[in-house]
Amino acid sequence: MNHDIDALRASFEGCTTVPEVEKRIRTELSDAERLVVASVAYDHFFASNWCGIEEAALLANDVEEGLRPQVVEALSCEGMLPYKGTRSLLLLLAAIKAIEGQNGGQVLQLKILMAWQHLLDESSSTIHRRIKELIKEVQKPCEESLVISVERELVIAQACLLFYGYDEAHRHIDEAFKLAKLDATLTGELGKRTKWQQHLVAQLVLSVQASGEVDEAEEQMPENVQLNDDTLMDTITLEGPAKEPVLLTSMQVACLVALTTYKRKTQPKSDIVTEECMATISMILSQKRCWAGHCQSLIMRSDLEKGKGRKVERACQQLESLLLGLDGTASYAEHGVPRCKFAVACGLPPWWKVRIQYARVLCSIGLYSEALRCYEKLKNWDGVIDCYKSMGQIEKADRLIRDLIDQKDDSVPLHLLYTMLGEINQELSYFEKAIELGVWFNAGYCAWTNEQFEQATVCFRRCVDLEPEHFEAWNNLSAAYLRLNQKKRAFDVLQEAIKFSIEDHNIWGNCLLLALSVGEVSKAIQAYHRLLDLKRAPTDDDYLIKLTNEALDLIEKEPNDPCLDELCKLFARIIASKSLGAQGYLLYASLKKPSPGSVDQDGRYVRLVEQALQADTMKNDYLTKVEVALRVLKTANLLIDTRLEQAGISQKEEDIKRAKSRNNLTLLPHLKKIQMAYQDQFGAQNELKMALDDVMAKIQA
C-alpha cells in the first residue's frame, strides 16, 4: 500500500458508512497494511489540525459530511465528545481502528492516542491506561537512529505531561538532552533591555553547548512579530564583543522547546520562571530551525506577555499572525513534512486551542466583541456567555443558556448551564438544581467505575427524578441494571432514554442487545430498523442469527405472532441496501421455507439458498479455508435436496430431470474445484472428503 492520501482514498473507495470503513480495516487489510493506513491517516489528520495544512478527506466530501455526527459519536470517550470543529475527523477514527490489536508501531500508536486525548475536554482514564501500556512497550531497547530515539523520548514526555506525570516527563526530557548531546544552563550577563538604559544590568540568558551536524535553517518560519515599543527593545543587548552564535539541530531545538513546555506546566507563575522561559525562547527563535518548535515558542511567548502592559499588543498580533498560518490552506506536499517534524515532541497545540488563547488575550485588553466572534466560530459557549456578561448583555447570556438547555446541547454539561443561569439571575433554585444534577450524576459515575452497581442505580435514579429528560442518566441507569443482571428492568429503563435521544445510535444498539436478551423480538426488529436509518447497523450476521432464532422460537409457541412477517420485511430492507453473507441468506431462507409438501410459489426459498452458495463461492475462500469449503458443501447439499423436493411435488419426470440437470450445471464446477484444491489433504476419515463424496453421490444419483 502506498504512503499517500490518494492511495488511502482508493483503499476505501465504495465505503459510504462508518461501519463499512471499520469493517474494511478489520477484515480486508493485513497488519502491515493497517499500520500504513494508521500512519497516512494520522499524518494528514495531524497536519490539518496542528500545522495549518489543508483538510484531507478519506471519502467523498458530501459522504464524509453526512457521516460527521456518527464519527463524533464514535470518537466520544467516557461521556466526553471530541471538539466538533476538528478537521478530518474520519481520518483519526480510521487511524484509531487501524491500530487496534497491533503489536508494532508503538510510537505511532502513542501519537494517535495523544491526538485523540487533545480532542476531549478532560483526561480520559481509558486513553490514559492505553498510553501507559504503550509507554512500557516503547521504552524497551531497540535499534534506531539518533533522531528517532530523541523524538521518542520527547513524545513520551509530552504523553506524561498530558496526564500530569511530571516526574516521568522530566526524566524523559533529560534522557533526550543526553542523546542529543545538548547542555543548556541559565547564566547571567551584563546587558540592556530598554532603548534609553544607561547602566548595564545583569540579564538572564541561556548558555548552550551542543555537538552534531547542523541542518540548514528552514525557510518560511512563522512570522516573529516585532515589539515596536518606544522603550523596550526586541531582544536583550549584551555587553562585550559579539559571540559566535551556537547553531543547533532541529532535534536540539525540539529538546529546548519541550523543556520550556515542561517548565510552563509544572512551575508556579512567577517573574523568575517567566524570565527563565523567555531566555530559552529567545535562543529558540534565534535558530530559525524546526517550524513546530518556532511556532510553539511564539505561542508560549504570547502567553507570557499577555499580562504585560507594553507587550500585550504584540501577544495579540502574534497570535493573530499564527492563526493565519494555521487556517488550513497550506499544501501538504510543500509544507506537510517540515511543519509536522517534531510537532508532537514540541507539544504544539491544535489550532482551536490557539484561537481560544487569542480570544482570551482579546478579552484581557477589553476587545470583547472580537473575542465574542472568536468564541462563536468555535461554538465555545462558555466563552460566549462570559463575553456577554463582560459586555453587560445579561439578557443575551440568559437567552443563550436557556436555548442550550432546551436544545440539550451536549457541549456543556447540564449542571454547568444551570450554574451559569443561577449566576446571571442570582436565583438560588438554579444553583440547587445544578448541585443536585452534578452531584448525583457524578456520584453515579464514581460508583460505576468502582463497580458498585447497586449504588450507581440509586444515584442515576435520583438524577432522572430531578431531570426526567437527562437521557445520559437514563442510559447509564439501564447499564447499571444490566450489570446487576436485571435485564428486563434495564430494557424498560432504556425505553425512557430512547424517548429523549432518538438519534443516538449507541442507545439503539443497546436496545437491540437487550431486546434479544429478554425475548422482545418486535422491539429488536424496531431497533435494527432504526440503526439502518442511522446507517449504524451491525456489519456481521451475529445479531441476525440471534434475531432469527428468537423469532422462530416465538412462532413455535405463538403461531399467529406477526414477528415473522416483520422480520422478513427487515431482511428485505437489508438485502435492498447491501449484500448479505452466506449465513444471512440462509437465515432469510429459513424464514421463507415452505412447509413439507408445499410448493415454493415464487421460488424465493430456492433463490435465497442459491444466493447463500454464491456468497461463499464468489471470493474463492472456499478453496483455501476448510471451514468455508465445508459450509459450501452443506449449502450445496441443501440446494440439491430443495430443488429435487420441489420438482418431485409436481410428480412430473420432466421437472425432476430439469432439477438434476441444473444441479449438475451449477454445483459440479465448485465440487471439482474443492476436489482439486484439497486432494492432498484427503484421508480415509477426512470430514471434508466424506461431505464431498456425499454431495457427489447425490448429484450422480
Confidence of residue 597 (pLDDT cuts 50, 70, 90): low
Query: Which grid coordinates are listed for 43?
Result: 499524518
Same domain, yes or no, for 112 and 230? Answer: no
pLDDT higher than threshold 90 for residue 464: no
Residue 543 near residue 562, CB atoms below 8 Å? no
Q: Are residues 56 and 129 in the same domain?
A: yes
Better pLDDT: 365 or 431: 365
Q: Are 279 and 186 in contact (CB under 8 A)?
A: yes
> Hey, which residues does 237 pair with through a beta bridge?
192
pLDDT at position 265 over 60: yes
Distance CA 674, CA 689 (A): 10
User: Does residue 187 share a domain with residue 127?
Assistant: no
| Alpha-carbon span 351 to 326, nearest angstrom | 6
Please tell me the total count of domains within the chain: 3
User: Tens digit of pLDDT for each residue in 270-295?
Assistant: 788 889 999 999 999 998 889 999 99
Q: Please classify residue 622 by burial: count the beta carbons closer than 10 Å to its beta carbon, then call 0-12 exposed, 13-18 middle and 19+ buried.
A: buried
In a domain, 165, yes or no: no
Residue 377 lies in a domain: yes
pLDDT surpassing 80 at residue 379: yes
383-394 tens-digit pLDDT: 898 899 899 898
User: What does the angle CA 536 – CA 540 – CA 541 come to, to the nearest 5 degrees?
Assistant: 120
Residue 269, pLDDT > 60, answer yes
236 shares its domain with 351? yes
**383 and 397 Cβ atoms separated by less than 8 Å:** no
pLDDT digits (tens, 9 = 90+) for 167-225: 899 999 999 999 999 999 988 888 888 777 778 888 888 889 888 777 666 668 899 99
Predicted pLDDT of residue 2: 42
- Examine the domain organization and report whether 56 and 123 are in the same domain: yes
**Out of 32-36, 265-269, 508-512, 635-639, least confident range:** 265-269
The whole-number pLDDT of residue 549 equals 84
Q: What is the pLDDT of residue 3?
A: 52
CA dihedral 340, 345, 346, 347 (to 10 degrees): 100
Average pLDDT over residues 602-614: 82
Structural contact between residues 423 and 394, judged by C-beta atoms closer than 8 angstroms:
no
- Residues 410-438 have a mean pLDDT of 75
372 pLDDT higher than 90: yes
- Of 17-31, 149-163, 596-610, 634-648, least confident by mean pLDDT is 596-610
Rounded average pLDDT over 94-102: 91
- What SS3 string covers 23-67? HHHHHHCCHHHHHHHHHHHHHHHHHHHHCCECCCCCCCHHHHHHH
Q: Is the pLDDT of residue 1 over 70?
A: no
Task: Give the integer Cα–Cα distance in Å for 487 and 481.
Answer: 7
- 153 within domain boundaries: no
The answer to whether position 633 is within a domain reads yes
Highest mean pLDDT among 101-105, 434-438, 439-443: 101-105
367 burial (CB, 10 Å; 0-12 / 13-18 / 19+) is middle
The answer on pLDDT for 402 being more than 90 is no
Q: Which of 525, 544, 529, 538 is nearest to 586 (CA)?
A: 544
DSSP letter for each residue of 131-151: HHHHHHHHTS-----HHHHHH
Can you tell me the distance from the alpha carbon of 475 to that of 460, in angstroms, rounded to the nearest whole number? Answer: 9
Cα→Cα distances 9→37, 331, 397, Å: 10, 18, 44
Q: Indicate the residue among 142, 168, 201 that finishes a domain.
A: 142
Tell me: pLDDT of 114 over 90.
yes
In a domain, 569, yes or no: no
Residue 203 cell numbers, joined? 540579564
Judge whether 101 and 142 are in contact, CB under 8 Å: no
Contacts of 137 (CB under 8 A, 6+ apart): 106
Of residues 471 and 518, the one with the higher pLDDT is: 518
**Separation CA 278–CA 494 (nearest Å):** 56
Give the chain's length.
701
Same domain, 226 and 113: no
Angle CA(279)–CA(285)–CA(286) in degrees, nearest 5?
90
Same domain, 111 and 16: yes
More confident residue, 496 or 57: 57
Q: What is the pLDDT of residues 294-331, one digit of tens each?
A: 999 999 999 999 888 788 999 999 999 999 989 888 88
Claim to verify: residue 227 and residue 360 sit in the same structural domain: yes
**What's the pLDDT at 675?**
84
Cell 461521556 maps to which residue?
79
pLDDT surpasses 70 at 578:
yes
Cα 593 to Cα 569: distance, rounded to the nearest angstrom: 15
Backbone angles phi, psi at 350, to 5 degrees: -70, 165
Of 364, 383, 402, at which residue does a domain stop?
383
The single-letter code of the amino acid at 502 is I
Choose the final residue of a domain: 355, 383, 411: 383
Instruction: Give the model's pLDDT for residue 228.
Output: 80
For residue 650, tell me if it sits in a domain: yes
The answer for residues whose C-beta is within 8 angstroms of residue 255's C-beta and 6 or more apart is 150, 154, 173, 176, 177, 180, 182
Assess whether pLDDT exceeds 50 at residue 672. Answer: yes
More confident residue, 562 or 85: 85
pLDDT at position 509 over 60 = yes
* Statement to judge: residues 137 and 186 lie in one domain: no
Kindly state the average pLDDT of the residues 248-264. Answer: 93
318 vs 104: which has the higher pLDDT = 318
Q: Are 43 and 317 in contact (CB under 8 A)?
A: no
Is 25 a residue whose pLDDT tops 70? yes
Q: How far apart are CA 351 and CA 109, in angstroms?
A: 22
Please indicate, yes or no, whether residues 240 and 366 belong to a single structural domain of this protein: yes
Residue 101, amino acid:
G
Structural domain range at position 26: 5-142
Distance CA 483, CA 477 (A): 10
Lowest mean pLDDT among 83-92, 276-285, 361-370, 429-438: 429-438
Beta-sheet strand order (sheet of 232-238): 201-210, 182-194, 232-238
Same domain, 315 and 194: yes
Distances (CA, A) of 497 to 76, 141, 439, 457: 18, 50, 20, 15
* Mean pLDDT, residues 498-510 taken together: 79
Task: Place 262 in a pLDDT band, splitting at 50, 70 and 90.
Answer: very high
| Residue 329: predicted pLDDT | 81
pLDDT at 518 over 90: no
Using N-to-C axis directions, what is the helix angle for 521-533 and 542-557, rounded to 10°? 150
651 or 144: which leads in pLDDT: 144
Q: What is the pLDDT of residue 242?
A: 65
Q: What is the pLDDT of residue 144?
A: 77
∠106-45-302 over CA atoms, to 5°? 100
**Cα distance between residue 41 and residue 288, in whole Å:** 29
Within a domain: 440: no
675, part of any domain: yes
* Contact by Cβ (8 Å): 82, 147: no
Confidence band of 659 (pLDDT split at 50, 70, 90): confident
